[in-house]
Structure 1
Amino acid sequence: MSLRRIATVEDLHQYLHVAMQLEHATIPPYLTALYSMHSTANQDAHRVIRVVAVEEMLHLTLAANLLNAVGGTPDLSRNDFVPVYPTRLPDGETDFEVGTRAFSPDTIKTFLKIERPAVADQGGSRFVSRDRSARTLMPTVNAHEDDLHFFSIGEFYAEIGEGLERLHHELGDDLFRGDPARQVGPAYYYSGGASVVEVTDAASAAAALRIISEQGEGLGGGIFDEEGELAHFYRFDQLLRGHYYQPGDEAGRPTGPALHVDWDAVYPLMPDSALDHYPEPGELQDAVTAFSRAYGDFLARLTEAFNGRPELLVPAVVDMFHIRDLASRIIRNPMPGRPGVNAAPVFRGLAPVGVA
């Protein structure tokens, strides 16, 4: 599958579905690193990663609002919605892959690459030309018969922004043909860093895209966004540099209080855990299966919430606590036959019992 440059509403629907898939694809890696830390250590690191994971949920919700606003249908229950890890983000990069792995310096370095600033080193081009990876999550862009890829998540969203502007110029307010009742508003979702935006017109669409881009890599590549919140790239950067950023700091040179990290206070989780890593019937297999089923239920609830029942986001918060507790049960178990390796949750949503 390849995407075209955004020329039609249907093209825009494709891009926004990929945006939802992309925002979600960062959440299992971030949660796995979060869950892997000992509960009595690394409170600073735990807080940093948790804030980013919550804001990725906000971005997922904003992408759903954008898709609903232009008449699309969010669907998180498709078989291909959750990637098989390791995968390539955002667009099949060959310089790194993303997996579900324990908290470590290498894991944080990968997170920095996910959130890297949006300026490609290609003379200002939004695209880079490279061989296609079989593990890429995002489709390529079919433009002028070249196999082009987005350099970063920021460049991908810049393309969506320009496509929205072009279509709004052509179609006027008819572009925003979606039912406003399907929008998730602040009454049902609040992340702490920014409130969710109900998308009903060009201005609110631009505001939603701005929040996603600025929280990821910062305002114009800066350290802080318009609300004064630290961008994800620099939140993660703090963990490697051992200090918090504060206003007035330069990129790569945080001067705030010390941020203490104990890289050893971590469960040695099975990297890129998959269901076939647990073939033996028993309590461990049951726990991993229960986690996967609960995660599938969570995605199903989000799908309903994004399709006209936003009130379901309130019990979805309870789902997240349940998922965390299930993960805690799993990660304390050694892997049978794998000395020094612990079990890990699998983010592959299973169908409810009795459903094929």
Structure 2
Amino acid sequence: MFKIDPKFIQDLLNVTTPAQLHFYLQKAIELEHSTIPPYLTAMLSLKPTTNREISQLIHGIVMEEMLHMTISANILIAIGGHPRINTPGFIPKYPGPLPMSIGNDLIVGIEAFSLELARDTFMAIEEPTDPIPIHELRRLYAAGQAGPQFHTIGEFYDSIKLKLDELRDQLQFGQLEQQVLGYFPPKVLFPITDVDSAQAAIDVIITQGEGTHSMPYQDPNAPEKLQDLAHYYKFESIVHQRGITPCPEGDGYCFGGKPIPFNPEGVWPMPPTPKPEDYPENSQERTLIERFAYSYSSLLNSLHRAFNGEPGQMDAAIGLMFDLKVLSASLMNPSMLLGNESGQTNKPPIGLAFVYRNVQNGMGYD
């Protein structure tokens, strides 16, 4: 599971002022963002004509991570804080631990999709405190391990909820005009105006990532045909290559849904965690991967402005997200490189570089 140092949680529980709580909400923003580059890369490494079911599932998860990042930022804004997004330290060092994780225990890189990546890394990031066992149709799926020694993402957010309640009389909510709203359904992205709305927003993050204590779904009250699996169980269904449904016998949940086929040939074989410095200066590869890095940094800059008094900058951020998707096609597909127009693939994929470039003054690539 995603292991958060118990001391970190204890320090959070010892918070006594709203100003101290700002630090942990900033960490929540960093945490939500940190999962987006690895998830997005895995999705974009899938060739367009294959593995469509897997691509759609991961796309949904990426969008909800963006929602979670927005929710965390809105809560920080509402209690007088200022999200910091366009700084070098905001981006994790890939490969490496994610924010608040321990040393070398869970190392996350920027890699092409594989079932092993989904199982060993993505499921580990999203794992609840007590995962609901999902059964094979005729046999029990492997039982869980011993109780966790560290804390999960859900427990981290539960601790924030507790602190919000304890500091209720000290918190002054406001800055409604600075919150980023309207880019997701109002059921999941709504104004943060008091402790209750902040806690309700955190519940959205928890249930979308981990489900409930008794069901693998994000919203157990939704009609059956509209029920959506939480992130952990989406990745688990990808690994088992079959959807999760209630067991026919009426006892628990099984891998009894539609097949989710995986074709290993439908993945671009990009190198793990590529960096611009891996390629010669003035080469086509270096130009493209630097262009991606500048666009990504420009995206962070637009998000920073959106969360610091210019919510309309979210429109520019959405445009930059589209630019990144377009750029990724050239970086992943060797046939789109110069010299490979005939469909030859003598050049390997370049891959995506999520590294910081200073674009805070509006300067990007030429």
TM-score range, shorter chain: 0.7 to 0.9
Give the conservation status (yes or no) of the 8 Å contact 1:22–1:90: yes
Q: What is the 5 A alignment of 1:81-230?
A: 81-89=90-98, 91-93=100-102, 94-109=104-119, 110-119=121-130, 128=149, 150-168=150-168, 170-171=169-170, 175-185=171-181, 187=182, 189-190=183-184, 195-220=188-213, 222-226=215-219, 227=222, 228-230=227-229
- Counterpart of 1:346 in structure 2 is 353
Q: Verify: 1:35 aligned to 2:31, yes or no.
A: no
Give the conservation status (yes or no) of the 8 Å contact 2:188–2:201: no
Separation in structure 1 between the aligned mates of residue 352 and residue 152 of structure 2, nearest angstrom: 28
Deviation at 1:200, TM superposition (A): 1.0
Q: Verify: 1:241 aligned to 2:252, yes or no.
A: no
Separation in structure 1 between the aligned mates of residue 268 and residue 277 of structure 2, nearest angstrom: 21
- Counterpart of 1:273 in structure 2 is 274
- Counterpart of 2:343 in structure 1 is none
* SS, match of residue 21 in structure 1: helix
- Counterpart of 1:147 in structure 2 is none
Give the AA of the match of 1:225: Q
**Cα RMSD, aligned residues only:** 2.8
Give the conservation status (yes or no) of the 8 Å contact 2:71–2:189: yes
TM-score (structure 1 length as normaliser): 0.83
Separation in structure 2 between the aligned mates of residue 30 and residue 251 of structure 1, nearest angstrom: 29
Change (3 A) 1:84 1:34: same
Give the conservation status (yes or no) of the 8 Å contact 2:29–2:73: yes
Change (3 A) 1:9 1:119: farther
Deviation at 1:90, TM superposition (A): 5.3
Give the AA of the match of 1:155: E
Change (3 A) 1:313 1:354: closer
Separation in structure 2 between the aligned mates of residue 218 and residue 313 of structure 1, nearest angstrom: 28
Question: Structure 1, residues 182-241: CA drift from partner, whole Å, max 9, x if none?
Answer: 1122x2x1169x531211101110111000010001112630022532100011111111
Q: Verify: 1:232 aligned to 2:231, yes or no.
A: yes
TM-score (structure 2 length as normaliser): 0.81
Q: Verify: 1:307 aligned to 2:314, yes or no.
A: no
Question: Structure 1, residues 286-313: CA drift from partner, whole Å, max 9, x if none?
Answer: 1111100001111111111112222222
Bigger drift between 150-159 and 8-17 goes to 150-159
Give the conservation status (yes or no) of the 8 Å contact 1:52–1:232: yes
Give the conservation status (yes or no) of the 8 Å contact 2:247–2:253: no
Give the conservation status (yes or no) of the 8 Å contact 1:87–1:98: yes
Give the AA of the match of 1:209: I
Deviation at 1:92, TM superposition (A): 2.4
Deviation at 1:251, TM superposition (A): 6.8
Bigger drift between 2-11 and 307-316 goes to 2-11
Give the AA of the match of 2:177: A
Change (3 A) 1:266 1:167: same
Q: What is the 5 A alignment of 1:39-58?
A: 39-58=48-67
Give the conservation status (yes or no) of the 8 Å contact 2:173–2:194: no
Separation in structure 2 between the aligned mates of residue 253 and residue 54 of structure 1, nearest angstrom: 26
Q: Percent of aligned positions with the same letter in both sequences?
A: 33
Residue segments in structure 1 that go unaligned for 5+ positions in a row: 129-149
Deviation at 1:119, TM superposition (A): 4.6
Deviation at 1:113, TM superposition (A): 0.3
Change (3 A) 1:124 1:242: closer
Residue segments in structure 2 that go unaligned for 5+ positions in a row: 132-143, 338-345
Separation in structure 1 between the aligned mates of residue 106 and residue 309 of structure 2, nearest angstrom: 38
Give the AA of the match of 1:166: E
Deviation at 1:282, TM superposition (A): 1.4
Change (3 A) 1:90 1:254: farther
Give the AA of the match of 2:180: V
Question: Structure 1, residues 76-133: CA drift from partner, whole Å, max 9, x if none?
Answer: 11210011101223532454311110000111011000000035999988xx4xxxxx
* SS, match of residue 38 in structure 1: coil
Deviation at 1:318, TM superposition (A): 1.9
